[in-house]
Chain A
Amino acid sequence: MAITSTTCSGSLPYLGYWLGLRVEHYEALLANPGAVQWLEVVSENYMVSGGLPLVWLDRFRERFPLVMHGVSLSIGSTDPLDEDYLARLAALAQRIEPAWVSDHLCWTGVQGVNLHDLMPLPYTEEALAHVVSRVKRVQDRLKRRILLENVSSYVSFADSQLTEWEFIAAIAERADCLILLDINNVHVSAMNHGFSSLDYLRGIPVSRVQQFHLAGYEQGERLIIDTHDAPVSNTVWDLYTEAVRRFGRVSTMIERDDNFPPLAELMNELEHARSLAEPLLRDAA
């Protein structure tokens, strides 16, 4: 497989290897300002009126450049886009000037009810057109291109006309948005639906991938559950090396959402990512 060493997406920067900002690591990160160069914040945690969350955010903003990652945009929902949400998201982006803003390719609720989960879409032409038009509206509202992340899924639909990777690729091209490729989520969905994770990687356009997420999962009785609460598995590390071969130098982040280990443990995982990717990237240069 040919290695592509170009960075993607025009003007957005390459950010190296970094972590998601979580309350559990606030103190440790401030005590070790050299630990990472960048941090990804969960947008909704800071879309509040005041108080401690914004004080912490400002402290980190003084020391680290930030990236915003949301969970509630609900870009695939058939409910109208939430204007209040978009206004708060835009205000947060104005406050912290992130390198980029991302969310998930999914829906989180409909009929005014929120499931607080990343629900998969059927991969149909109808859904494709629906999402593309909404991505364009969001990008116009935020005055920037956004990144959409592939989600782990447990159901698939008989109505689907496309594979997941065809669907994501088509959205990125038609809406002119970028892709946050969660390597763990590719693996989880591949195992749960019986497709090839390598086929998935091959189907994603290189020029659209701006960021990788790496995370851990839990093996359920029949399905793999995306918990993001465990170390990255060996299978996902293997897939990551394949992704580096295909996509080249892509900003890479360890995303831990629960069962938080000491910061040093996540730094070790980050170092492992670097040790896997850098030799491949050097060889390709």
Chain B
Amino acid sequence: MNTLQAIQQQMLRAVIVERTPPIQTIRSDGIADAESRLDVYRQGYRIRLRDALKNEFTGLQCMTGQQFDSLLDKYVDAHPSEHYNIRWYGSGLAAFLDYARPWRDKPHMAEMARLDWAISTAFDAADEPSLGIAELSAIPPDAWANLHLSLQENLQFLACMHNTDAFRRAADAGAKRPRLHLFTRAHQVMVWRKAMTVHYRQLDDDEWQVLGAAMRGMPFAALCETLAQYHDESAAMPRMVTLLQGWLEAGLIRGLSAG
């Protein structure tokens, strides 16, 4: 008799690999033979995994067009699902596109997959409180210099060499596929969730540098010095105010601490 473990291992292999030796314990009868019966599971497996990817990678689908289906097939063939929740199946797609031919020669695809996945994970990331303008207004002027900004932990930043966010935006809007542009240097795209809505946008260089300084734990005075590298004295402070207002409205600031 086959053990339960042996039967499960044989069936697993028969489902995820197209051609396997017949499994003797699976019955054929007048209704259907064993292979036809196993085919139901084989087909279902592929359909479910592909559907899960299609839900998550709408930007990549917009970017790749008709190649999308064959890309998914290759990923499904190469990557069995390891998480109990199919929602996580796409976690390895960007890395797959980094190394698998022919996509490794098209880095915009892995970049697109990373942005899609960041948006997907932001959707059900842990909820965090965010600071309001009123709480910021209550801070005395002389306390600002030593304040540290805590940003939302689910903020994500992606260094993009292409206009990948434009593809995702087109997919979200059901709009025409944009033309692919290669930048001369990387642009940062920030992904975050405010309340229940996921947002993403390209950052200006000065904003990225200031956010980076804040994440490294530098006090507010140091953030202003960072900004002064991009703006003259008269423009730096108004720019800081604009950035702060934008971050507050976007719900990016989780808290403030002194010292």
Contact = CB atoms under 8 A, between A and B. Distances in A.
Interface stretch (B25-33, B102-110, B199-207): B25-33
Nearest to A56: B196
Contacts of B9: 110-111
A44 B88 CA distance: 12
Interface centre among B15, B32, B193 (most CB of A within 10 A): B32
Interface residues of A, number: 49
Contact of A109 (B12, B41, B123): B12
Interface in B59-103: 80-87
Contacts of A225: 40
Given A154-B41, A159-B2, A223-B36, A52 B27 contact: no
A119 B193 contact: no
A113 to B, nearest CB: 4
B15 A115 contact: yes
Nearest to B86: A116
A114 interface: yes
A154 B39 CA distance: 9
B37 A47 contact: no
A126 B4 contact: yes
B143 interface: no
B33 to A, nearest CB: 9
B25 A122 contact: yes
B128 to A, nearest CB: 8
Contacts of A232: none
B251 to A, nearest CB: 13
A156 B81 contact: no
11 contacts: A49-B125, A111-B9, A114-B80, A115-B16, A117-B15, A119-B8, A157-B27, A220-B40, A223-B36, A223-B40, A225-B40
